Chains A and B, each alone.
Chain A
C-alpha cells in the first residue's frame, strides 16, 4: 500500500479534471484508465492524488427482495445503480475501478458538490466501493471550481464527512423511494391488469402535489364561465395626435349603465382637470438563486428550468460561475467582488460597465432575502471563457454576468404621469411612464423589462376635441395556464421538492404524458391520475404533508430530527393509502385504461380535418403495408378519404397548431442528428411553393 496516496471522489468527470488540474504541482495531471474508469493522477507536495469521477449517483435504493409485480414494499438496500432492475455494467465497471484504486490509498476525500446530493454520492462511494472509508474520509467544501478555491478546500478540508447532510439525503431518498415505488406500482399494476398491456405510470411524493397544481388549474379552466362587463374609452385629439383615455371608474357592470354613461359624454369636449406627476425608484434586482435564474432564463430565452440547470452546471464545471444549486440570494463579504469586476472588465460585452463600476468603487452588491447555509447566490467567478461557449451556454453566462453587474448599480428612477380629462360629468384618464435615471438598467440590457408609455404634453384647463366614445363589451378570461417557470415558482413557494429536483419533477410529468405544451395543459391521463389520487390516497396530493416532510428532512440536516422517526412517520401515512389503492384496484385499473386509450388517441391527433371539416386527422398505420400515414377519423363514419403520406423513419409529433400559410395542421419531423422541421400536411401549401421557389 502506498502511504502517500490520497483518493479524491468528484461528482462528475469535468469536476475531476478541474480538481486534478488545480491540485497538481505542475498543473499537468495525467489521465489514466483502469478498465472502464478514467481518472486523473496528480502530484502535490510529494503526495500522489487519485481523482476519480462519479457519474452522479452510483448507488440507488432497491427492494431487499426482488420482483416488480407486488406492493407494498418497505424494505430496501443501497445497490449499484441499474436500469429497471437490471445491472448497469458500466457503473459496475466504474465501481470495480474505484475499489481497486481505494486499495492503494490511505487518505480519502469527498470533493463532490457541497449539498445533500453531493454528500450522499460521495458517502455511498466511500462506504461501499471503498469499504467503510466514509468513517475516516475528509470533506472538501467548494462553491466554485476555480483553482484558488480548490486549493484552499483541499488544504483545509472538513475533518469528517458532513453526516447531517448525508443523513438528510438518505432520508429523502428513502422517503421518495417508499412513495414512488409503491404508488407507481399500484397505478401501473392496476392499469396493466385491466388492459393486459404495460404502460409506465408514476406518482410520487412531490409529483403528486405538482400534478394537482396543474390539474386543478385545468379543471378551473374547463369549467370556467366568463362574466360580461363593459369598458368605456374616449378618443381625444391632442396637437393633431389621437390618444385613447379610459373611464376612471374602470369596469362597468351593466349594459344600461354603459349606454347611459356613453350618452352623457356625447357632444362634450374634454377638459384637462388634473395632472399628477410622481417619481419612484426601482431597486436593483436581487442576486440569482437557482429558482430566480430559471425563471429569468425562461422569461428572456424561453429555456425550460431543467435546461437552464444543465447549462448552469456546465458553466460551473468550466469554473465560470459559482455553484448553481443554491437557494441563497446573498453574496457574502468573502466573495471578492472588486476582483471579479476587474476580471469582467476583460470581457468585451461588459467591459465598459465593469470598468465604470470599478472607477465608481461600487463594490457592495444588493442582497436578497433568501439564505442557504451551504452556498452563496450564483455569481460569475471572474474566470473568463477560454474559447467559444456553446450558444445557449453563452446566453446564460451573459445573463449571470449582467445580473451580477446590475447588483452594484444605482436605482432606476421612473416618472409616472396621470392626466385626468373631464368629459361631461365623467372623468377619463391617461397614464404614462418614462425613465429619468437609467441606473442599474444600463448594465442589465437587453434583459431589463421596460414599460415606457409616452404621452404628449398637457396643461390644466386644456380643451380637447373628443372624436369618439367607444363602449367595448368584454368578457373575463379564464385563469392563465402554468408555464415551466410559474409552476416552478409555485412549487418553491409551497415548499415542495428541492432546488435540485423541481425541474426534473416537471420533466417527469411531461414524460408520463400527464401534461403537454409549453402553456401547460393537463391531459385526460393527467386529470384521471389526479382524480384517482385525490379520491383514493389524498395524502399524496396534499401540499401540506409534502411540505411537512420537507421540513422534517431539513431538520435532519441540522440534527433536530432523526432519520428513523421521519421514515416511520412516512410509512405510517403511506400504508393505509396503499391498502385503499389495493382494495379499489379493479375500478382504478378500468379508469386508467380508459384514460390511457384516450391519451393514445390524443397523442396521435394532428388536428381537425380541413377536407371534410367533421373528423380529426390522426397518425395511423396501414394494415396492409404497415406504413405510417395521416388519415381522417371520419373515414369510418362518413367516408372522408383524406390521407397524407409521412416520413417513415423519423420521429413525428403533432404540433397542434395551424400552418401560418394555409392553416392546415402541422407535424414536427425529427431525424437523429438533424435539425427538426415542421411539416405542413397540405401538399399545395403556399409556404412549400415559396420554399421550392427560393431553392
Chain B
C-alpha cells in the first residue's frame, strides 16, 4: 500500500509522517470548532492557508479538502 499523499510505502492510507500530521489535525479541530464555531471543511481551509501550519499538516489538509470536493 502507498501513502495517498507522498506515495511512500505504508500500512495505511497515510505514511507514518502524514498519519502523525493527520492526528494533529484531528486533535486541533475541537479547539477551532469551539473557538470559531466552524465546520470541518472551513477548519481545513483555515489551517491549510495558515503560515504556522507545518508542511506535512498542510499537505494532509489540502488532500482532505480535495477528497471532500471530489465527493461533492
Q: Are A and B subunits of one complex?
A: yes
Selected from A222, A227, A531, the residue in CB contact (under 8 A) with B56 is: A222
Residues from 29 to 67 in B contacting A, C-beta threshold 8 Å = 31-32, 34-37, 46-47, 50, 52-57
A280 within 8 A of B: no
Question: What's the minimum C-beta distance from B18 to chain A, rounded to whole angstroms?
Answer: 8
- Determine if B28 and A225 form an interchain contact, defined as CB atoms under 8 angstroms apart: yes
Given contacts A475-B50, A478-B52, contact A224 B57 (CB under 8 A): yes
Residues of A near B17 (CB, < 8 A) are: 219, 222-223
B2 within 8 A of A: no
A255 within 8 A of B: yes
- Determine if B55 and A222 form an interchain contact, defined as CB atoms under 8 angstroms apart: yes
- Determine if B52 and A475 form an interchain contact, defined as CB atoms under 8 angstroms apart: yes
| Total A-B pairs, Cβ < 8 A | 64
- Determine if B35 and A228 form an interchain contact, defined as CB atoms under 8 angstroms apart: yes
Residues of A near B32 (CB, < 8 A) are: 227-228
User: 1/0 per residue B1-38: CB within 8 Å of A?
Assistant: 00000000000000011001100110110011011110
CA distance A478 to B24 in the complex (A): 12
Selected from B16, B36, B37, B54, the residue in CB contact (under 8 A) with A225 is: B54
Chain B: which residue is nearest A531 at the CB level?
B16
CA distance A269 to B50 in the complex (A): 36
- Determine if A225 and B35 form an interchain contact, defined as CB atoms under 8 angstroms apart: no
A356 within 8 A of B: no
The listed residue with most B CB atoms (<10 A of its CB), out of A228, A253, A476, A477, is: A228
Question: What's the minimum C-beta distance from B20 to chain A, rounded to whole angstroms?
Answer: 5
Given contacts A219-B17, A475-B50, A478-B54, contact A224 B34 (CB under 8 A): no
- Determine if A223 and B36 form an interchain contact, defined as CB atoms under 8 angstroms apart: no
The listed residue with most B CB atoms (<10 A of its CB), out of A223, A227, A253, is: A223
- Determine if B20 and A224 form an interchain contact, defined as CB atoms under 8 angstroms apart: no
Given contacts A221-B54, A476-B52, contact A227 B31 (CB under 8 A): yes
User: 1/0 per residue A221-238: CB within 8 Å of B?
Assistant: 111111111000000000
CA distance A254 to B32 in the complex (A): 9
Question: What's the minimum C-beta distance from B27 to chain A, rounded to whole angstroms?
Answer: 8
Selected from A223, A254, A477, the residue in CB contact (under 8 A) with B57 is: A223
The listed residue with most A CB atoms (<10 A of its CB), out of B17, B35, B57, is: B35
CA distance A221 to B53 in the complex (A): 8
Residues of A near B35 (CB, < 8 A) are: 227-229, 253-255
Selected from B24, B25, B31, B56, the residue in CB contact (under 8 A) with A228 is: B31
CA distance A423 to B48 in the complex (A): 37
Residues of A near B16 (CB, < 8 A) are: 531
Question: What's the minimum C-beta distance from B55 to chain A, rounded to whole angstroms?
Answer: 5
CA distance A228 to B35 in the complex (A): 7
- Determine if B20 and A219 form an interchain contact, defined as CB atoms under 8 angstroms apart: yes
CA distance A228 to B37 in the complex (A): 12
- Determine if A225 and B53 form an interchain contact, defined as CB atoms under 8 angstroms apart: yes
- Determine if A223 and B54 form an interchain contact, defined as CB atoms under 8 angstroms apart: yes
CA distance A253 to B37 in the complex (A): 12
CA distance A518 to B19 in the complex (A): 29
Chain A: which residue is nearest B47 at the CB level?
A225
Residues of B near A220 (CB, < 8 A) are: 54
Given contacts A219-B17, A219-B20, contact A226 B34 (CB under 8 A): no
Residues of A near B21 (CB, < 8 A) are: 222-223, 225
- Determine if A224 and B53 form an interchain contact, defined as CB atoms under 8 angstroms apart: yes
Chain B: which residue is nearest A224 at the CB level?
B54
- Determine if A225 and B55 form an interchain contact, defined as CB atoms under 8 angstroms apart: no
CA distance A575 to B32 in the complex (A): 49
- Determine if B47 and A253 form an interchain contact, defined as CB atoms under 8 angstroms apart: no
User: 1/0 per residue A252-265: CB within 8 Å of B?
Assistant: 01111000000000
- Determine if B36 and A228 form an interchain contact, defined as CB atoms under 8 angstroms apart: yes
Given contacts A222-B17, A225-B25, A226-B47, contact A254 B34 (CB under 8 A): yes
Given contacts A229-B35, A254-B35, contact A223 B56 (CB under 8 A): yes
Chain B: which residue is nearest A253 at the CB level?
B35
Given contacts A226-B47, A228-B31, contact A255 B54 (CB under 8 A): no
Residues of A near B31 (CB, < 8 A) are: 227-228, 253
Residues of A near B25 (CB, < 8 A) are: 225
The listed residue with most B CB atoms (<10 A of its CB), out of A226, A227, A255, is: A226
- Determine if B28 and A227 form an interchain contact, defined as CB atoms under 8 angstroms apart: yes
Selected from A223, A229, A477, the residue in CB contact (under 8 A) with B20 is: A223
- Determine if B53 and A226 form an interchain contact, defined as CB atoms under 8 angstroms apart: yes
Residues of B near A475 (CB, < 8 A) are: 50, 52
User: 1/0 per residue A199-229: CB within 8 Å of B?
Assistant: 0000000000000000000011111111111
Inter-chain pairs besides A222-B21, A225-B54, A227-B31, 4 sampled, C-beta below 8 Å: A225-B53, A227-B32, A228-B35, A254-B35
A-B contact pairs, 13 of them (CB 8 A): A222-B55, A223-B20, A223-B21, A223-B57, A224-B53, A225-B24, A225-B47, A226-B28, A227-B35, A253-B34, A256-B37, A475-B52, A531-B16
Per CB-CB distance, the 7 closest pairs between chain A and chain B, nearest first, are A223-B21, A224-B54, A226-B52, A225-B28, A222-B54, A222-B56, A225-B24
Interface residues of A (CB under 8 A from B): 219-229, 253-256, 475-478, 531
